[in-house]
Structure 1
């Protein structure tokens, strides 16, 4: 049930691409480079909420959690332009950074068509979303205050998203694969949320009980 990464393992060309993108950014983003390794980024999946070319990264926070809650909840770096040799046009790259950790990107082209010596950052924009909903803020506070450091490493605190399904609010704590999630509600109950077939299924009455049952999670 919890085989997260079978279909979407990260490849060396993905790692090289992300490193190259960060290297052309202003120096203040250089801290992201240490995050771009196959021990931390272990997969990627298509982000079906946004469309073609958008990817979410699957992170191994047990290896290392790079989250820094002094950074905004979400920063999107857009307007990163790289020359496409095949199409003879500039193509755009976007990076999504949550609490100082890169969590996703947009790129709708081929890696081998890029000319890294021909870039344009004149249109670079840094769009910041710094405000959580109160519910999300409370969930993050709960995790930071109540869970041990080892337990915190087992969930994606920096990647929590708020979902409303059937009038109920859920907060994602793990991106399983291809848009499926482990999530928690305001009562602390743990659920799996899948889209093929669409289903919300309770897994445990509390996150502590869930961890006790799934020690290899």
Structure 2
């Protein structure tokens, strides 16, 4: 019922595919291999966006500090194709970069376990700048001290029970801190699914968790 909590563990084919695609791209993108090898990617959130086939990555905070570049513009690497062993055809694959880090990918037309991770086509790849992120949608309700405690690349919109929340910070086991458009703060857990209101200042919550 709540698709974003179907899977939180990152699978080997996902990192293998990322690496095999990036290796074939121009050298300016090779630094993203280091992020994967350093263990930046902690897990995934499935169906956490209205982007078709999108899977978001969660991060190990200590490693994220090494690569996070908040002033860098978000973009995606598109027009990439990967081979689907089931349909015996190439399908679209995109890699999303936010604040200098790999933030997610989209895979359309097949299930990941059917992908041939060694058979990729980047001959027509393009870099496409992404417009305002979900972080920019909530900036106006945040205080300056709160903005300093947030990583824009970790802020994204999630629909739960038909209501929109903004993911702010990962906790353990796929749980996270989120807020709604009225700046009500929640601790959102997935096992069981609960949305618990936190009656503290946002800065206290972000510093204390």
What TM-score does the superposition give when structure 2 sets the normalisation length? 0.70
Deviation at 1:43, TM superposition (A): 0.9
- In structure 2, the partner of 1:70 is 71
For residue 40 of structure 1, what is the aligned residue in structure 2?
40
- Structure with the higher helix share, 1 or 2: 2
1:97 matched residue in structure 2: 97
1:91 CA displacement? 1.7
Alignment of 1:184-199 (within 5 A): 184=179, 190-193=185-188
Contact 2:48 2:158 survives alignment (8 Å)? no
Q: Over aligned residue pairs, what C-alpha RMSD do you find?
A: 4.0
Aligned 8 A contact 2:84 2:91 in 1: yes
Matched, 1:50 2:50: yes
Structure 1 position 161 matched with structure 2 position 156:
yes
**Cα offset, 1:102, TM superposition:** 0.7
TM-superposed deviation, 1:101: 0.8
Would the aligned equivalents of 1:17 and 1:111 in 2 still touch at CA under 8 Å?
no
- Structure 1 residues 189 and 100 mapped into 2: Cα distance closer, same or farther (>3 Å)? same
**Structure 1 residues 138 and 99: alpha-carbon distance in aligned structure 2, compared to 1, 3 A threshold:** farther
1:7-156 to 2 correspondence within 5 Å?
7-37=7-37, 39-50=39-50, 53-65=53-65, 66-72=67-73, 74-107=74-107, 108-110=110-112, 113-114=115-116, 116=118, 119-122=121-124, 124-131=125-132, 133=136, 135-136=138-139, 139=142, 141-143=144-146, 145=148, 147=149, 156=151
Distance 1:16 1:177 in 2: 24
| 5+ residue gaps, structure 1 | none
Do structure 1's residue 204 and structure 2's residue 207 form an aligned pair?
no
**TM-superposed deviation, 1:25:** 1.9
| Aligned-residue offset at 1:115 | 6.5
Conservation of the 8 A alpha-carbon contact between 2:76 and 2:129: yes
| Equivalent-residue separation in structure 2 for 1:129 and 1:7 (angstroms) | 26
**Residues in 2 aligned to 1:62 and 1:115: alpha-carbon distance in whole angstroms:** 29
Change (3 A) 1:92 1:198: same
Query: Is the contact between residue 158 and residue 166 of structure 2 (CA under 8 Å) also seen in structure 1?
Result: yes
Shift of the alpha carbon at 1:59?
0.9
Q: Name the SS for the 2:64 alignment partner.
A: coil
Shift of 1:93: 1.1
Question: Paired residues, what number?
Answer: 199
Cα distance in 2 for partners of 1:139, 1:210 equals: 13
Q: Scaled by the length of structure 1, what TM-score is found?
A: 0.68
